[in-house]
Protein backbone atom coordinates (compact mmCIF):
# COMPACT_ATOMS: atom_id res chain seq x y z
CA UNK A 1 0.00 0.00 0.00
CA UNK A 2 1.31 3.45 -0.88
CA UNK A 3 1.70 6.01 1.85
CA UNK A 4 -1.40 8.20 1.95
CA UNK A 5 -3.56 5.63 0.15
CA UNK A 6 -6.68 4.83 2.18
CA UNK A 7 -6.98 1.16 3.18
CA UNK A 8 -9.28 -0.95 1.02
CA UNK A 9 -11.60 -3.46 2.68
CA UNK A 10 -14.35 -5.86 1.63
CA UNK A 11 -17.39 -6.87 3.68
CA UNK A 12 -20.19 -9.34 3.05
CA UNK A 13 -23.49 -8.30 4.59
CA UNK A 14 -26.69 -10.30 4.92
CA UNK A 15 -29.66 -7.95 5.20
CA UNK A 16 -32.94 -9.33 6.54
CA UNK A 17 -36.45 -7.97 6.86
CA UNK A 18 -38.68 -6.62 4.11
CA UNK A 19 -35.87 -6.18 1.59
CA UNK A 20 -37.02 -8.02 -1.54
CA UNK A 21 -39.47 -6.46 -3.98
CA UNK A 22 -39.12 -3.01 -2.39
CA UNK A 23 -36.33 -1.48 -4.53
CA UNK A 24 -33.72 -2.28 -1.83
CA UNK A 25 -31.02 -3.63 -4.17
CA UNK A 26 -31.32 -0.76 -6.65
CA UNK A 27 -31.24 1.82 -3.86
CA UNK A 28 -28.20 0.10 -2.34
CA UNK A 29 -26.47 0.10 -5.73
CA UNK A 30 -27.07 3.83 -6.10
CA UNK A 31 -25.68 4.55 -2.64
CA UNK A 32 -22.66 2.31 -3.27
CA UNK A 33 -21.86 4.10 -6.51
CA UNK A 34 -22.12 7.48 -4.73
CA UNK A 35 -19.52 6.26 -2.24
CA UNK A 36 -17.22 4.69 -4.86
CA UNK A 37 -17.91 1.14 -3.65
CA UNK A 38 -17.86 -1.91 -5.91
CA UNK A 39 -19.54 -5.24 -5.25
CA UNK A 40 -23.07 -6.59 -5.59
CA UNK A 41 -26.53 -6.82 -4.08
CA UNK A 42 -28.44 -10.01 -4.76
CA UNK A 43 -31.57 -11.68 -3.45
CA UNK A 44 -31.17 -14.90 -1.52
CA UNK A 45 -33.76 -17.70 -1.50
CA UNK A 46 -34.64 -17.11 2.18
CA UNK A 47 -35.87 -13.56 1.46
CA UNK A 48 -32.72 -11.77 2.59
CA UNK A 49 -30.28 -9.78 0.45
CA UNK A 50 -26.53 -10.41 0.23
CA UNK A 51 -24.36 -7.34 -0.18
CA UNK A 52 -20.68 -7.42 -1.10
CA UNK A 53 -19.06 -4.05 -0.49
CA UNK A 54 -15.46 -3.34 -1.55
CA UNK A 55 -13.78 0.03 -1.30
CA UNK A 56 -12.01 2.50 0.93
CA UNK A 57 -12.47 1.56 4.58
CA UNK A 58 -14.32 4.74 5.58
CA UNK A 59 -16.70 4.54 2.58
CA UNK A 60 -17.50 0.86 3.28
CA UNK A 61 -18.21 1.66 6.93
CA UNK A 62 -20.59 4.47 5.91
CA UNK A 63 -22.29 2.15 3.40
CA UNK A 64 -22.68 -0.71 5.89
CA UNK A 65 -24.31 1.69 8.37
CA UNK A 66 -26.62 2.92 5.57
CA UNK A 67 -27.80 -0.65 4.89
CA UNK A 68 -30.12 -0.26 7.91
CA UNK A 69 -31.88 2.59 6.06
CA UNK A 70 -32.41 0.99 2.65
CA UNK A 71 -35.20 2.06 0.32
CA UNK A 72 -38.31 3.94 1.40
CA UNK A 73 -40.44 0.77 1.29
CA UNK A 74 -37.96 -1.55 3.00
CA UNK A 75 -37.96 -2.51 6.67
CA UNK A 76 -34.58 -3.84 7.73
CA UNK A 77 -34.57 -6.04 10.83
CA UNK A 78 -30.97 -7.29 10.75
CA UNK A 79 -27.63 -6.62 9.08
CA UNK A 80 -25.00 -9.30 9.70
CA UNK A 81 -21.54 -8.19 8.59
CA UNK A 82 -18.49 -10.37 8.02
CA UNK A 83 -15.11 -9.95 6.35
CA UNK A 84 -14.97 -11.09 2.74
CA UNK A 85 -12.78 -14.15 2.15
CA UNK A 86 -9.06 -13.45 1.70
CA UNK A 87 -7.98 -13.27 -1.92
CA UNK A 88 -11.33 -11.97 -3.16
CA UNK A 89 -10.87 -10.24 -6.50
CA UNK A 90 -12.21 -6.67 -6.25
CA UNK A 91 -15.24 -6.26 -8.53
CA UNK A 92 -15.00 -3.60 -11.26
CA UNK A 93 -18.39 -2.08 -10.45
CA UNK A 94 -21.45 -2.49 -8.23
CA UNK A 95 -24.10 -4.79 -9.72
CA UNK A 96 -27.48 -6.18 -8.74
CA UNK A 97 -28.71 -9.66 -9.42
Residue ranges per domain, the chain? 14-85
- Is 2 tagged catalytic? no
Of the residues 2, 14, 18, 43, which is catalytic?
A: 43
What are 42's strand-pairing partners? 50
Helix residue spans in 1-97 (DSSP H): 24-35, 57-66
Of the residues 25, 31, 33, 42, which is catalytic?
A: 25
Sheet bearing 8-18, strands edge to edge: 75-83, 8-18, 49-56, 38-43, 94-96
Q: 30 with 24: CB under 8 angstroms?
A: no
- Is 43 tagged catalytic? yes
pLDDT tens profile 15-52: 999 999 999 999 999 999 999 999 999 999 999 999 99
pLDDT tens profile 52-78: 999 999 999 999 999 999 999 999 999
Q: What predicted TM-score, i.e. pTM, was given to this entire model?
A: 0.92
Residue from 20, 71, 77 nearest 50 by CA: 20
Q: Class for domain 14-85, per CATH?
A: alpha beta
Amino acid sequence: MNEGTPPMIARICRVSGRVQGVYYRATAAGRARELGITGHARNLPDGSVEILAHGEEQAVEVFVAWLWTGSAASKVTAVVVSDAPPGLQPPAQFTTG
